[in-house]
Amino acid sequence: MATTDKLFAGSIPEIYERFLVPLIFEAYARDLAGRVARVEPQDLLETAAGTGVLTRAIASRLPVHARIVATDLNQPMLNHAAAKQSHHQVTWRQADALALPFEDQKFDVVACQFGAMFFPEKVAAYREARRVLKPRGHFFFNVWDQISENEFADVVTESLATLFPQDPPRFLARTPHGYHNVEKIREELTAAGFADVSIETVDHRSRAASPRDPAIAYCQGTPLRNEIEARDASRLEDATKAAADALARRFGNGPVDGRIRAHVITATG
Q: What is the Cα–Cα distance from 81 to 53, expressed in whole angstroms?
A: 8
CB contact set of 204 (below 8 Å; sequence gap of 6+): 27, 28, 260, 261, 262
pLDDT value at position 84? 81
Q: What is the Cα–Cα distance from 43 to 66, expressed in whole angstroms?
A: 6
Q: What is the Cα–Cα distance from 199 to 267, expressed in whole angstroms?
A: 9
- Is-above-0.85 flag for pTM? yes
pLDDT value at position 195? 92
Which pLDDT tens digits describe the chain residue by residue (269 residues)? 766 666 676 888 899 999 999 999 999 999 999 999 999 999 999 999 999 999 999 999 999 999 999 999 999 989 989 988 777 899 999 999 999 999 999 999 999 999 999 999 999 999 999 999 999 999 999 999 999 999 999 999 999 999 999 999 999 999 999 999 999 999 999 999 999 999 999 999 999 999 999 999 999 999 999 999 999 999 999 999 999 999 999 999 999 999 999 999 999 97
Cα end-to-end span (Å), the chain:
28
Helix 224-231 crosses helix 212-220 at what angle (to 10 degrees)? 80
| Amino acid making up residue 50 | G
Q: 16's torsion region: left (phi>0), alpha (psi -120 to 50) or beta?
A: alpha
What ranges make up the beta strands (E) of 114-208? 133-144, 196-208
Q: What is the Cα–Cα distance from 59 to 37, expressed in whole angstroms?
A: 9
Phi, psi for residue 21 in degrees, rounded to 5: -60, -55
CB contact set of 65 (below 8 Å; sequence gap of 6+): 42, 89
The domain limits of the chain are 3-268
CB 90 within 8 A of CB 62: no
244: helix, coil or strand?
helix
* Highest CATH level, class, for 3-268: alpha beta
| Amino acid making up residue 139 | F
